[in-house]
Amino acid sequence: MSHTVTIEPIGEQIEVEDGQTILQAALRSGVWLPFACGHGTCGTCKVQVVDGDVDLGEASSFALMDSEREEGKVLACCATLESDVTIEADIDVDEDFEGYPVEDYQATVTQIVDLSPTIKGVHLKLDRRMAFQAGQYINIDLPDVEGSRAFSLANPPSRADEVELHIRLVEGGAATSYIHQQLKEGDRLNLSGPYGQFFVRSSQPGDLIFIAGGSGLSSPQSMILDLLAQDDDRQIVLFQGARNLEELYNRELFEGLARDHENFTYVPALSQAEEDVSWQGFKGYVHDAAKAHFDERFSGRKAYLCGPPPMIDAALTALMRGRLFERDIFMEKFLTAA
Ligand code: FES
């Protein structure tokens, strides 16, 4: 038994299975609705019901207030349909979004490597290919860990039957502890994807700046590998921030890409460089490296930021002071998978 939801203003009609939420049905049909927590607590996925009957599900009273309920607002991540329904959603359809539908996949762990003392590289082989845009992420289920966890894909879309993840150990975090301490080669995992709106806006002109911190390198790595494989001729600069040399991973990969592609420049920055007396590169925070490289003037470029919130905030301030507008800056705050 299913019902139909019509999503305005785009006029898209989607089948919603019994028990499926509006959000699940939309993502699985390749229609992106804004969301964050996915379980009724943040309010990001609020939509207006204009026609039909909906079960509100587990919407929290903070995320959806009584007055909003009376106005017909619902949370798409919790709401299921009791009839055919029409909703109005705040959808900003981006012309560069390819809209690959979210699907379920099974995968086998093929390799686990230590990228740094705190970050593991986890490689999976998918049972079938997954179409995605560079920069997007997947949700993984782990044994004995409640709920799924989001991790960005570090492999380019051309390696569609693989998944490469960079996973930092979060102290006390059930999922990352499991991955660091128990996950082993040969294990089978269930995952879904692709998710997310962090991808290169190819139709927008301008040279590209990537600023990455910690395991936030994963999305920029996928995007840069993809751009260079497509012979994109824009100037691309990657600023990679780490505390010290041990934490600066995949440096050889990017140094090699910089040697092979004259339009790609790699600038690593160590914030605690005093620990590594041999370090000849930039000493300081990654946003300061970007400021120094561009003489504090960024106008005409597009910037993609991925890393922990303090890094994103500092980079954002630096870029905007250097004449980039908000519309020129795209970011993925660290997905807080613990
Ligand atoms: Fe957070 Fe729906 S996504 S409430």
Residue-range domains of the chain with CATH: 2-88 (3.10.20.30), 103-195 (2.40.30.10), 208-333 (3.40.50.80)
**Residue-by-residue pLDDT tens, the chain, 338 positions:** 899 999 999 999 999 999 999 999 999 999 999 998 888 999 999 999 999 999 999 999 999 999 999 999 999 999 999 999 999 998 877 899 999 999 999 999 999 999 999 999 999 999 999 999 999 999 999 998 988 999 999 999 999 999 999 999 998 899 999 999 999 999 999 999 999 999 999 999 999 999 999 999 999 999 999 999 999 999 999 999 999 999 999 999 999 999 999 999 999 999 998 878 899 999 999 999 999 999 999 999 999 999 999 999 999 999 999 999 999 999 987 655 67
How many other CB atoms sit within 10 Å of the CB of residue 76? 27
Atom of ligand 1 nearest to the CA of 63: 4
* ipTM score over 0.95, yes or no: yes
Q: Which two tokens stand for residue 332?
A: 């993925």
Distances (CA, A) of 3 to 35, 135, 311, 333: 22, 33, 44, 35
Ligand 1 is surrounded, with C-beta below 6 A, by 35-38, 40-45, 63, 75, 77
Residue 59 alpha carbon to ligand 1 centre in Å: 8
Cβ atoms 142, 325 nearer than 8 A = no
Q: Can you name the residues that pair with 124 across neighbouring β-strands?
A: 109, 163
What pTM did the predictor assign? 0.93
Which of 22, 32, 33, 45 to mutate for ligand 1's pocket (most ligand atoms within 8 Å of CB)? 45
Place of tokens 């500092």: 314
Alpha-carbon gap, residue 242 to 308, rounded angstroms: 11
